[in-house]
Amino acid sequence: MAKIIDGKAISKQIREEIAAETAEFAKNSGFKPGLAVIIVGEDPASQVYVRNKRKACDEVGFYSESYELPAETTQEELETLVDKLNNDDKIHGILVQLPLPKHLDETRVLLKINPEKDVDAFHPYNVGKIMIGDYSFLPCTPAGVMALIERSEIDVCGKKCVVIGRSNIVGKPMAMLLLHSHGTVTICHSRTQNLASICKEADILVAAIGKADFVGADMIKEGAVVIDVGMNRKADGKLTGDVNFAEAEPLASYITPVPGGVGPMTITMLMQNTLTAAKNKVK
Ligand code: NAP
């Protein structure tokens, strides 16, 4: 029987720590960390994420602004807003909610964000810093996974780590962070041959695929740590991960559930990055 890594409880604990640090920081600096969130269009899932981010800011004592722009916003209008926020001293972190409507060039918008305010860590400058292991910000979801691993006192050093997924926002940075923690890392993707046998060797298996219940018993070594990043909606509307929990749980030593595992950590790490950005500003 695996130990369940309770992302909700760990997230709550970290948010309390951030709130205490924020109060101390505000007392000493005379200002609060500030986060601006921009959303373009009316994607319901994105609207929920933005609302949750605003709520999290209130909870930890940040200043926050949100910009809900119409779907027909032009590239120039969006970039002008990013520029304005780059020059706004109240704002230490800028987050542009992705995906953007198709007529907008995401890469150009992300490049516009001042890397010092890039709390999602998607700017190539910050991506490069992560590669060399000298970073201020980590992308929120992989950072959340590392926090879950660390707070569960799981030692990565020397372990065989397999990451399924090579996206820029999850898979690749996830692999890099495990490598920085001295794991021996393999990255798998849709063209990987013998996927199940590679996964079956993993001491730490991270699934970031986007396919419900994809990882089954045939892919999990007995005693493995299984981290499920996946967030998939089933036909009945229920949220489910990339790991078949019923099959994995009897084999794993630790496992993250969905919901209640990695999910709650992502916004918490955004709060952490915003506090870091505000502290860097004072430095
Ligand atoms: P993505 O950009 O679609 O990447 C998915 C990756 O999975 C790709 O690298 C793809 O390989 C690989 N893949 C797809 N089918 C595969 C297969 N049959 N065998 C092996 N690999 C396969 O997705 P993402 O943005 O990284 O997100 C992954 C999952 O995490 C999604 O469920 C997403 O909702 C979830 N997520 C959760 C959070 C959170 O806060 N918990 C945050 C972000 C994402 P190729 O590169 O070869 O196509």
Residue type (1 letter), 225: V
Of ligand 1's atoms, which has the minimum distance to the CA of residue 261? 41
Q: How many angstroms separate the Cα of 251 from the Cα of each of 135, 149, 185, 194?
A: 35, 18, 21, 20
Question: Strand ranges (DSSP E) for 113-263?
Answer: 160-164, 184-188, 204-207, 225-228, 232-233, 239-240, 254-255
What is the model's pLDDT at position 46?
85
CA–CA distance, 175 with 89 (Å, rounded to integer): 34
Identical fold between 31-114 and 140-263: yes
* Largest distance between two CA atoms of the chain: 57
Whole-structure pTM value: 0.97
What is the dihedral sign for C-alpha 60, 61, 63, 67? positive
- φ and ψ at 48, to 5 degrees? -65, -45
CB 230 within 8 A of CB 244: no
Q: Please report, for the chain, the start and end positions of each structural domain, with discontinuous segments joined by +.
A: 31-114, 140-263
Ligand 1 mutation target, pool 169, 176, 231, most atoms within 8 A of CB: 231
Question: What pLDDT does residue 68 have?
Answer: 94
Q: Which atom of ligand 1 is nearest to the CA of 166?
A: 9
Q: What fold does the segment set 140-263 form as a domain?
A: Rossmann fold (3.40.50)
What CATH architecture does domain 31-114 belong to?
3-Layer(aba) Sandwich (3.40)
pLDDT given for residue 283 in this prediction: 84
> What is residue 73's predicted lDDT score, i.e. its pLDDT?
98
Please pick, among 53, 117, 159, 172, the residue that the annotation labels catalytic. 53
Q: What does the pLDDT read at residue 1?
A: 84
Q: How far is the CA of 205 from the centre of ligand 1 (A)?
A: 14
250, 222 Cβ separation under 8 angstroms: no
Residue 116 has pLDDT above 90, yes or no: yes
Q: What is the pLDDT of residues 180-205, one digit of tens each?
A: 999 999 999 999 999 999 999 999 99
- Ligand 1 pocket at CB < 6 A: 141, 164-167, 169-171, 188-192, 195, 208-211, 229-232, 262-263, 266
167 Cα to the center of ligand 1, angstroms? 6
DSSP string, 19-51: HHHHHHHHHHHSS--EEEEEEES--HHHHHHHH
Given a cut of 90, whether residue 111 has pLDDT beyond it is yes
pLDDT in tens, 170-183: 999 999 999 999 99
Secondary structure of residue 74 in the 3-state scheme: coil
Quick check: is 118 catalytic? Answer: no
43: pLDDT strictly greater than 90: no
For atom 41 of ligand 1, which residue has the closest CA? Answer: 263
CA distance 88 to 102: 28
The residue behind tokens 């809900």 is 68
